[in-house]
Structure 1
């Protein structure tokens, strides 16, 4: 069994609730979406990257493992394209397993064992250059409910762009509140798109977006810290 791997590296988690924690990132090639704000365009095509076995991936992980690192973050691209591969890697390591996913492949996500934490992106129509397909949102809800049912620690990350209107944003958050089976175990991370200097009145916008989510869910606002620190 092999999967296309763009890179394996050690760094601090720059997004979400584990921000600042040392992790080893395994970045897969291949994605089923093409978001306008994507900062890893080289990972969209499955033709990119190097084909590696689970054993080769674990060997690389062990070669760069440091005492302050306890988690493997599977990212991409879209890592849920490779559920069996992730399962094989997880069998060969005692490190915690994190999945960073767009959540649009619930059947695949349901096949992944031993997940400790999931960062699930909620996609907005403003993030796409073309037509936004409604099944993207519906599948994200399916994935979210599936993870809640399995009692897996999951949080939702929403990347907001300068063009995003507050009314459109609230409609999405309201839909999520109506559709998920247990909102008490889900928190939201609002992530303003980088670079931050593209925003006008960023602070005012962030307060507004936070207040919208706060009507329904626990919420934090966190930019991409790795971009600020100028690290990968």
Structure 2
């Protein structure tokens, strides 16, 4: 089995609750969404990168493991477009793993959820480019969150917020999660201010407001993309 992989590299995790952990990032090609803030637009192309097998991926990963290695991060693009490949890889090779996903493919997630240690699930907002079918996308994301909680996978919910993000919308999303998902005491919502951070020069008060309304329903953190601040990949 082979699939298109954009790149394989070692760096610090710059987002979410594993921030600062040394990971090997496996960036898959292709995405089912077209987000306005995407910082790897080349990965939207399903033909981009190199066609490699699970054995070849193992060789690439094994060649760059460092003593501080924590886990593999499967990212993209949308890695769940490659769920069969990921399943085969994790069944063949024992690595601690993390999935970074938009959560809109719950059927594909169901194939591999039991093999994952961590999941970063990115909830999309209308201003991300999902305005036409936003309600459907959110329903799919909530289905994925429920699936992960049923499997008791260590999961955090990431929401990229912009200066124009409505406080009421974040409140509504957090409220739905609290109402519809079991075991929310073990969930964290990470509000991630869109990069570059300079766009928030006149709007940092908004970040406090977003955190406050989310915090009524769910444990919440506000964390920027630290790898951008460190100027590393």
Asked if TM exceeds 0.5, the reply is yes
The answer for the alignment partner of 2:197 in structure 1 is: 196
The answer for the alignment partner of 1:50 in structure 2 is: 50
Query: How many angstroms does 1:182 deviate by?
Result: 2.4
For residues 117-166 of structure 1, give each alpha carbon's deviation from its aligned partner in whole angstroms, at most 9, with x where no partner exists.
00001111111175233211011011000010011111100100111121
Q: Is the 8 A contact 1:58 1:92 kept in 2?
A: no
The answer for the alignment partner of 2:89 in structure 1 is: 89
The answer for the alignment partner of 1:74 in structure 2 is: 74
Please tell me the root mean square deviation across aligned C-alpha atoms, in Å.
1.3
Instruction: Call closer, same or farther: CA 1:88–1:129 in 2, change over 3 Å.
Output: closer
SS at match of 1:190: strand
The answer for the alignment partner of 1:11 in structure 2 is: 11
Query: How many angstroms does 1:201 deviate by?
Result: 3.0
The answer for the alignment partner of 1:208 in structure 2 is: 209
The answer for the alignment partner of 1:159 in structure 2 is: 160
**1:5-44 equivalence runs, <5 A:** 5-44=5-44
SS at match of 1:223: coil
Q: Is the 8 A contact 1:70 1:95 kept in 2?
A: no
SS at match of 2:115: coil
**After alignment, is 84-93 or 70-79 more displaced?**
84-93
SS at match of 1:111: helix
Runs of 4+ in structure 1 displaced over 4 angstroms? none
Q: Is 1:115 equivalent to 2:116 in the alignment?
A: yes
Query: How many angstroms does 1:94 deviate by?
Result: 2.8
Length, aligned pairs only: 232
Alignment gaps of 5+ in structure 2? none
Q: What CA distance in whole angstroms lies between the structure 2 residues aligned with 1:82 and 1:160?
A: 27
Instruction: Call closer, same or farther: CA 1:230–1:181 in 2, change over 3 Å.
Output: same
For residues 144-199 of structure 1, give each alpha carbon's deviation from its aligned partner in whole angstroms, at most 9, with x where no partner exists.
00010011111100100111121222222222222212211211111000001112
**After alignment, is 123-132 or 100-109 more displaced?**
123-132
Q: What CA distance in whole angstroms lies between the structure 2 residues aligned with 1:129 and 1:103?
A: 13
Q: Is the 8 A contact 2:106 2:141 kept in 1?
A: yes
**After alignment, is 200-209 or 45-54 more displaced?**
200-209
Q: What CA distance in whole angstroms lies between the structure 1 residues aligned with 2:151 and 2:172?
A: 27
SS at match of 1:82: helix
Q: Is the 8 A contact 1:159 1:192 kept in 2?
A: yes
TM-score normalised over the length of structure 2: 0.96
